[in-house]
Structure formats: structure tokens, C-alpha cells
Amino acid sequence: MIISEKQLQDDYTEVAEAGKDQSEAGNNAMDDAPPPAYSKPVQHTSSSRPTELQPPSKPTNFLSLILKDKAIRGCYVIDPLMEIPPSLLPPMNTGETDQERKNLYLRTKDGSIDADIWLIGQEEAAPRNGSRTTLSLSSDDGSITAKINTVKIVASFLLDVYSRDGRVTVLLPRSFHGLLLLTTRQSAKLSDDLLQQSTILSTVGHTRRYFVGDVSHRFDGNDWDGDELKVVSRDGRIMIRYKDEAELPKLGFFSRIFSS
């Protein structure tokens, strides 16, 4: 079959126009199509809402632990409103009445005490009735460290610490509002943050008295039934600070000489 040159030219023109139409149709389809999907980068976000600390164990009340020559170390969760059957309560100390029973009593003769104490409160502040949560820690021959954590709104508490010959360190919650009575023949120091919130009341003999918070707070007569910390250490240093403050750096031997 013989195809003329004119017929070849006509066929070429038709093919070219058809290809042009398909190309334009494809371009128009691409213009109308939605943009290609893409993956957004993963963002790791953390909630700015503060989370309330949770106690590490179930609470108890009127807990008593008395050892002779061993250290006491542990976490103690106290709910002062928890009712314990009288038959399960420990024997009272000599001269102690039922109303004077301690919510937490830790006593060792020849050992140190390192207590992480949690106080459980309520969602709303309860009316004050003069009763306080009472905590007592004592050692004849050992250092004592007590850290107080609070959950919800806790009742006022009295923390009584005695160490005849050992160093005492107490870490208080920011909610502490009340009296400090510190007795020692050595140094008794407050951290910078705590000192800024405190008013010194007196220094008599080896005892210093401070009030943390607003000193004009209402007193019931001459008695104070709010937060209170009593520390006695005959021959040991006393250090009181907030529990969320960074620990002060320890000085070396030569640093203590030149800083004294």
C-alpha cells in the first residue's frame, strides 16, 4: 500500500492535536485535584496543669515504732482522720493520755532517723477545733532527717524532734504557717527562702523562736494551735528549709576554716 506524503502529514497533525488535548486534560485534572497529603511532625506536649503528689502507700494513723539500737528509715503516710479500733492501737507512753496519743511516734535509742512523712488532708479546709496532727521523732544518739509532704488541705500539725547528739534537718512544705522553736548549743539555720518568710521573735539562751508567715494571725488567747515545729539537739546542728529547695552545698574542710 502506497501512502502519499500529504496523507502522512495529515495523520501526524491529528496525532499531535490528540496528544495536546490529552495533555491539557491531564493538566486540568491536576489543577482540580486536592493538594497531596503530608504528614505533620509529631509534637510532644506536656500539660501545664500541676499534678498533685500521690502518697506511695496506704495511709494509717497512730503509728508507733520504737527501736533500741537500729536506724529508722522509711515512708510514713498519716491520715489523722482515720479511725483505728482501740484494740489495734499500740500501748501509750508513760504519762500519756488518750488525747495526747501521737499520730506518728518514731523512737530509737542508738540510731539515726530518716523519715519521709506524708500527711493526708481533705478537699476543703475543715474548721479548726484546737486539735492538731502530732508527730514525734527522737533519738538519743543519731541524726534525724524529717521531710513533710502534704496531700490536699491538711490540718495544722505539731512536729516535735529531739536528738541529743545528732544533726537535725527538717524539710517543711510551703504551706507551713506557724512557730519554730529551735534549741541547740550549736548552730541553728533557716534557708534563705524560709528566712524571708519568717519573723524572729526571740533568742533566749540556746533557743531561737521564729514565726513563719503573717505574725498578726489570730491567736486563741496566749496559745497557738496552728503549725508548730519544735527541735531540740544538745550537741548537733539544726537546719530547716522548704522541701522543694535545693540542698545547700557541703563545705570542705578548708572551706569551713576560711568561712568561719
pLDDT per position as a tens digit, 165-211: 899 999 999 999 999 999 999 999 999 999 999 999 999 999 999 99
**What pLDDT is attached to residue 99?**
86
137 within some domain: yes
**What pLDDT is attached to residue 55?**
84
Residue scoring higher pLDDT (158 or 246):
158
Tell me which range, 53-57, 99-103, 143-147, 244-248, is most confidently predicted by mean pLDDT.
143-147
High-pLDDT (> 70) share of the chain, % = 71
**What pLDDT is attached to residue 165?**
87
* Count of domains for the chain: 1
18 within some domain: no
CB atoms within 10 A of CB 125: 11
**Interacting residues of 163 by C-beta distance below 8 A, sequence separation 6+:** 138, 139, 140, 142, 143, 144, 232, 233, 236
| Across 82-86, 121-125, 188-192, least confident range | 121-125
46 within some domain: no
Residue scoring higher pLDDT (107 or 247):
107
Q: What is the pTM of this model?
A: 0.74
Residue scoring higher pLDDT (20 or 155):
155
Residue scoring higher pLDDT (1 or 159):
159
Position 143, amino acid:
S
253 within some domain: no
251 within some domain: no
218 within some domain: yes
Complete DSSP assignment for 81-135: T----GGGSPPPPTT--GGG--SEEEEESSS-EEEEEEEE-BSSPPPP-S--EEE
Residue scoring higher pLDDT (49 or 139):
139
150 within some domain: yes
**What pLDDT is attached to residue 117?**
98
| Cα atoms found within 13 Å of the Cα of residue 110, Cβ hemisphere only | 2
Complete DSSP assignment for 30-70: HHHSPPPP-PPPP------SPPPP--SS--BSSEEEEESSS
Determine contact, residues 180/210, Cβ cutoff 8 Å.
yes
Residues of the domain holding 130: 65-92+101-242
Residue 94 pLDDT > 90: no
110 within some domain: yes
Residue scoring higher pLDDT (20 or 81):
81
Average pLDDT over residues 10-33: 48
pLDDT digits (tens, 9 = 90+) for 241-254: 999 997 655 555 55
Residue 16 pLDDT > 70: no
pLDDT digits (tens, 9 = 90+) for 38-70: 334 333 333 334 466 788 889 999 999 999 889
CA distance 181 to 187: 13
**What pLDDT is attached to residue 177?**
96
Tell me what the pLDDT averaged over the chain comes to. 81
Residue 85 pLDDT > 50: yes
